[in-house]
Amino acid sequence: MRSRAVAESLPVTRQVPIDPWLPWPMISPFMSALPERSWCEIRASALRHNLRALKAWAGSAELMPLVKADAYGHGMLPLAHWFEEAGCPWIGCASVHEGRTLRDAGIRTRILLLSGFLPQELDEIHRLHLVLTLSSLPEARQAAATARRRGRPMEVQVKIDTGMGRLGAALPDAPGLLRFVWNSPHLTLTGVYSHYASADSDRALTRGQWEKFQSISTPAGIPRHICNSAGMFALPSSCGDLVRPGLALYGVCPLSRHQHLLRPVMTWKSRVVAVRSHPRGATLSYGATFRTPRAMQVAVVAVGYGDGLFRALSNRGEVLCRGHRRRILGRVTMDQILIDASAAPLPRKGDEVVLLGTQGAETLTPQAMARQAGTIPYEIWCHITDRVKKVHC
Ligand SMILES: Cc1ncc(COP(=O)(O)O)c(C=O)c1O
């Protein structure tokens, strides 16, 4: 068991004294000696809050946090350790590679592999004690053969397709698959699940999926689960034995009327590296898509699409600097953006810039950024590249 102190907070990177030559608020206490150009602060306090809120919401259901895709861009390993310490009985990942990374880092919690698998991966899945998702009889036979050859039963969950059309046995095939798994001495059934396709937007489809899932009978004592974040809020009565939130855990509620229950876990920041004055009629950035309508102050911020900032935010996105919203002017480039720095208090070189999160009285949410970029909050997070340091604090 790791120490309670570790359970209380995510690992904190080396803290250094604030550089005296950089005036507040130009430096974060979490930075290494050399100032980062773009970084994400991932707050354990917000994660703890969301975990508690979701547990309270889900009633008696257990929680399976999803850590796939680098925990939705929040840093898979620190978060997986934190979830394990917080007592989550399961975590969910998408690939064998993710599962191996988790095991190599010492994660002992049960890990459900949510994606489909290739036959060549079965030995490794078995070796790593990952829990396999089965969607068909041939898959179940392959898994059983692998387990028999390796001399130990394999833990599996049976997935049923109730309307997502991705993985899972079709309803008529589900009883046969369940019977095979239940009767196989080489397979240990640890759950039966399905997945909502549109719980945030289609009540009828969601209810229909829930009814189909309920129509499947499963052995007593085997956990059943269907809820992602949207399912939890759209149809709380379907929380069942276990819920599998990702989005909500990281602070975005798919049903906006419940957003007040959750806190954003990530703050994405950068800093001003130059401030320029331009006369009226100057063109800015590639393609000259912005022409100054008057004399303007423009700040250059050290973040671009090379860091995962969507180029679609060109001429439409906003950032915060000195507590005020500032428009992105011209095209987002690979390493830098230009922002309107004309309004007081005037941005200065070295200033901290917030792309996602709060500064002063203003907040920029992943939902708003996603709307401006024509995408979804998941993709905003997953798009952030490795060049952006994740600071767990
Ligand atoms: C099978 C499965 N369950 C749960 C989730 C979590 O969804 P959300 O992040 O919307 O809560 C996902 C996400 O892709 C998933 O694929």
DSSP 231-280: HHHH-GGG-TTEE--STTTTT--SSGGGGGG----EEEEEEEEEEEEE-T
Is 211 contained in some domain?
yes
Please report the atom of ligand 1 found closest to the CA of residue 114.
1
- Best residue among 79, 225, 228 to mutate for probing ligand 1, ranked by most atoms within 8 Å of CB: 228
Whether pLDDT at 16 is above 90: no
Known catalytic residue at 286: yes
- Best residue among 66, 90, 114, 229 to mutate for probing ligand 1, ranked by most atoms within 8 Å of CB: 66
213 and 335 housed in the same domain: no
pLDDT the model gives residue 351: 97
Is 259 contained in some domain?
no
For residues 135-157, give the mean pLDDT: 98
Please report the atom of ligand 1 found closest to the CA of residue 195.
1
Other beta carbons within 10 Å of 184: 19
The DSSP letter of residue 102 is H
- pLDDT tens digit sequence for 171-205: 999 999 999 999 999 999 999 999 999 999 999 99
Whether pLDDT at 18 is above 80: no
Q: Whole-angstrom Cα distance, residue 69 to residue 151?
A: 32
189 and 58 housed in the same domain: yes
pLDDT the model gives residue 35: 81
The chain-wide mean pLDDT, for the chain, equals 93
Strand order in the sheet with 224-225: 90-93, 110-113, 130-134, 154-159, 187-193, 224-225
- E-strand spans in the chain? 38-42, 62-63, 90-93, 110-113, 130-134, 154-159, 187-193, 224-225, 242-243, 266-278, 283-284, 290-291, 296-301, 318-321, 324-329, 337-340, 352-359, 362-364, 389-392
Q: Whole-angstrom Cα distance, residue 358 to residue 67?
A: 24
332 and 213 housed in the same domain: no
Last residue of a domain, one of 252, 280, 300: 252
Is 239 contained in some domain?
yes
- Residues in contact with ligand 1 (CB, 6 Å cut-off): 66, 114, 195, 228-230, 244-248
70 and 219 housed in the same domain: yes
Whether pLDDT at 3 is above 70: no
Please report the atom of ligand 1 found closest to the CA of residue 249.
11
Is 24 contained in some domain?
no
Q: Which domain holds residue 153?
A: 44-252
pLDDT the model gives residue 32: 57
100 and 230 housed in the same domain: yes
SS3 127: helix
Q: Amino acid identity, residue 13?
A: T
pLDDT the model gives residue 31: 53
For residues 11-26, give the mean pLDDT: 36
Report which of residues 355 and 21 the model is more confident about. Answer: 355
Residue 257 banded pLDDT, cuts 50, 70, 90: very high
Q: Do residues 38 and 256 make contact, with C-beta atoms less than 8 angstroms apart?
A: no
Q: How many folded domains does the chain comprise? A: 2
132 and 168 housed in the same domain: yes
Please report the atom of ligand 1 found closest to the CA of residue 228.
11
276 and 240 housed in the same domain: no
Known catalytic residue at 68: yes
Distance 171 CA to ligand 1 centre (A): 21
Matching residue, tokens 């898994």: 143
57 and 188 housed in the same domain: yes
310: Cβ contacts below 8 Å, ≥ 6 apart: 317, 332, 369, 373, 375, 380, 383
Whether pLDDT at 271 is above 50: yes
pLDDT the model gives residue 34: 78
Distance 203 CA to ligand 1 centre (A): 18
353 and 296 housed in the same domain: yes
pLDDT the model gives residue 267: 98
Q: What are phi and psi of 309, to 5 degrees?
A: -75, 125
If we measure between CA atoms, which residue out of 183, 80, 95, 107 comes closest to residue 141? Answer: 183
Q: Whole-angstrom Cα distance, residue 70 to residue 102?
A: 11
Is 14 contained in some domain?
no
307 and 242 housed in the same domain: no
Cross-strand partners of 359: 362
Q: Whole-angstrom Cα distance, residue 326 to residue 315?
A: 11
Is 27 contained in some domain?
no
CATH of the domain at 53: 3.20.20.10
Q: Whole-angstrom Cα distance, residue 182 to residue 133?
A: 14
**Of 68, 159, 269, 390, catalytic:** 68
pLDDT the model gives residue 11: 35
Using a pLDDT cut of 70, give the percent of the chain over it. 92
Last residue of a domain, one of 203, 220, 252: 252
Output the six-digit token pair for 366. Answer: 């992943």
Whether pLDDT at 69 is above 90: yes
pLDDT the model gives residue 23: 37
Q: What are phi and psi of 325, to 5 degrees?
A: -75, 135
214 and 293 housed in the same domain: no
